[in-house]
Structure 1
Amino acid sequence: MNPSYHNGYSSDSHAQYSTGPAGFNPPVHDSTSQDAEQTRLTFSPSITQQPQPPSLSRPSSAFSSGPERHGASQQHHETSQRAQPAKNSVVIKVGMVGDAQIGKTSLMVKYVEGSWDEDYIQTLGVNFMEKTISIRNTEITFSIWDLGGQREFVNMLPLVCNDAVAILFMFDLTRKSTLNSIKEWYRQGRGFNKTAIPFLIGTKYDHFVNFPREDQEEISVQAKRFAKAMKASLIFSSTSHSINVQKIFKIVLAKAFDLKCTIPEIENVGEPLLLYKSV
């Protein structure tokens, strides 16, 4: 069933970045496959193909032998190759934690592969995927770590949280109990990594939007309160309808490198909340 969304919002749009200047009382502070193909090209409109330098090899001459001509051309080719700027590479580790069956793996697969499978496969332990994008002369690899939500896997939390640049604390918008669990996930995650940028991510918005207005307001207000206490960005998403999936990782990138992000915020109940500028 396709929900009827307010204000005609649609799936993820592309944001632009430009260089800019540089929690609940927690105990420790704290769409389609085509979209995936487009990410490399549209993530930054300023990405351009570097033009190749014109060949400077001399034309054939009756006064020069074949080997000499080949040697001059090869020498210039090697010099041209050395003149090309080497690409920088950066790895951004992103951890994903939250209760079982809330859509962590689905969101990761949707972002990396651009696909979505309705059949749920429970994560046992830790899932790991990578996606590389190019911005100007830099290759950025998102290294995404997804922890199974069963409590028996909590001993693997350090594997997911240690060295993470950002941690996505995720909950199911249609199950209030998973939002209440965020307190404990946040406490434990911050225990292993106090510097990671926190995000509070609500999943399954396509189902949540059909809830009665008062239920939507209750969950939205509570999520805003939690996000404020966590000093976290708050984003409602839907994997099946490609709502805010790409934007989550664009905002992660912007915050990781102190870049200006032009994605508009959404703060009205009844719409997929997207709040990140004030944290």
Structure 2
Amino acid sequence: MSGMAKQYDVLFRLLMLGDSGVGKTSMLRRFTDSEFESSYISTIGVDFKMKTLEIDGVKVRVQIWDTAGQERYKTITKQYYRRAQGIIFVYDITDESTFQHISKWVGDVDEFTPNQVQRVLVGNKSDEQPNRQVSLELGVKLANSYGMDFFETSASSNRNINESFTRVVELVLQAHKSDIDSLIGSLDEYLDRAALGGEPPSPQLDSSSQRTCAC
């Protein structure tokens, strides 16, 4: 293998969906920056952060889009649906209305995203047990009805944050395994030939000499 180190093998885009105030930004900050602040200004439109994970020997660069939950930004948010390989639906266990609205978010995704998009359901703010309005059992039941994995998380106490994000990345990897194996093989061949001074193949690499999975 050549000395041209790969920063990552594939790039995935994840999308966080849920009502305003459920803690999507807090979850994302905890996952990407290991930070938590008790108060945030509501996201306007969309924002994103990046993180690199290594799963089963594959270096995955994850671009995570944090979307506004307010109705007035819904049109903007939908523009990002088709570009996502993974969706994280988030509700607040202390606010039953955010749980009830998950069906609306799922309906939007069914309408606007590819069939292969992977999904998990998250009930956030599990540290606020005295204020709980949605039971664990209801969360599990809803996730099962949609065929999703389920996590109760807390950005404040860092409960299940890494686990929930990592799981959706694992699901995307599994769904696109054959495509990813082919892309990584092409990239390795490209780097090896380039190091030997030969004519490298053209695996449609991006500007960072890595490959974006547009599966």
TM-score range, shorter chain: 0.7 to 0.9
**Is the aligned partner of 1:196 residue 2:98?**
no
Out of 235, 238, 244, the position equivalent to 2:160 is: 244
SS in 2 for 1:108: helix
Q: Does the C-alpha gap of structure 1 residues 137 and 151 become closer, same or farther in structure 2, counting only changes over 3 Å?
A: same
- In the other structure, the counterpart of 1:176 is 96
Aligned-residue sequence identity (percent) comes to: 26
Residue 121 of structure 1 and its aligned partner are, at CA, apart by 1.2
**Distance (whole Å) between structure 1 residues aligned to residue 122 and residue 2 of structure 2:** 44
CA distance in 2, matches of 1:84, 1:203: 43
User: Counterpart of 2:39 in structure 1: which amino acid?
Assistant: D
1:102 aligned residue: 22
Deviation at 1:92, TM superposition (A): 1.3
Q: Distance in 2 between matches of 1:226 and 1:92?
A: 26
Distance 1:167 1:254 in 2: 12
1:225 partnered with 2:141:
yes
Look up the SS of the partner of 2:141 in the other structure.
Answer: helix
Taking structure 2 as the reference length, the TM-score comes to: 0.73
Q: How far 1:230 sits from its partner (Å)?
A: 1.2
* Cα distance in structure 2, aligned partners of 1:253 and 1:125: 24
Structure 1: which amino acid aligns with 2:155? T
Change (3 A) 1:136 1:102: closer
For the 8 Å contact 1:237–1:244, the answer to whether it is kept is yes
Q: How does 1:208-223 map to 2 (within 5 A)?
A: 209-211=129-131, 219-223=135-139
Give the one of 62, 76, 83 matched to 2:2.
Answer: 83
Superposition RMSD in Å: 2.1
- Cα distance change of structure 1 residues 99 and 224 upon mapping to structure 2, 3 Å threshold: same
Unmatched 5+ stretches in structure 1: 1-81, 260-279
* Residue-by-residue CA offset, 1:100-121 (whole Å, 9 max, x unaligned): 1110011111111110011221
SS in 2 for 1:154: helix
Structure 1 residues 170, 86: closer, same or farther in 2, change over 3 A?
A: same
Contact 1:146 1:160 (C-alpha < 8 Å) held by counterparts: no
Could you tell me which residue of structure 1 aligns to residue 38 of structure 2?
Answer: 118
Residue 157 of structure 1 and its aligned partner are, at CA, apart by 2.6
> More deviation in 248-257 or 165-174?
248-257
Counterparts of 1:83 and 1:120 in 2: how far apart (Å)? 45
CA contact (8 A) 1:110 1:245 kept: yes
Greater Rg, structure 1 or structure 2? 1
Q: Secondary structure at the match of 1:210?
A: helix
SS at match of 1:195: coil
Match for 2:81 among 142, 152, 161?
Answer: 161
Partner of 2:202: none
Residue aligning to 2:48: 128
Deviation for aligned residue 1:147: 1.0
> Residues 233, 138 of structure 1: CA spacing in aligned structure 2 closer, same or farther, 3 A cutoff?
closer
SS of residue paired to 2:83: coil
Q: How many residues align?
A: 173
